[in-house]
Amino acid sequence: MAKLTLKVVILFFALTLLLAPASSMAENLININTAEQKELQSLQGIGPALSERIVEHRERFPFENKEDIMQVSGIGESIYENIKDMIVVD
């Protein structure tokens, strides 16, 4: 019985460790329709100039999906690939 209990406890902790990063990642996603420039600049490849362009773009054309960020001049496939898992659109 003790072996079974130990296995259950180990399995519980293993699952907790596996699921914890996913939940914390969801909390750190950046909404590209509402994020401030400083938040946008935390994304890999996005500096002051690009963050300003993102804000200017969304003021005229709010992003309908996260792929739309590639409509911003200077953001192509490579930058999008680096940030796509860190952004959302609400």
pLDDT of residue 1: 63
Domain containing residue 26: 2-88
3-state secondary structure of 87: strand
Q: What angle do CA 7, 11, 13 make, to 5 degrees?
A: 120
CATH of the domain at 83: 1.10.150.320
pLDDT of residue 88: 98
Radius of gyration of the chain (CA): 19
Tell me the pTM.
Answer: 0.71
Per the structure, how many domains does the chain have? 1
pLDDT of residue 22: 47
> Which mean pLDDT values do the consecutive 10-residue runs of the chain (90 residues) have?
68 60 64 98 98 98 98 97 96
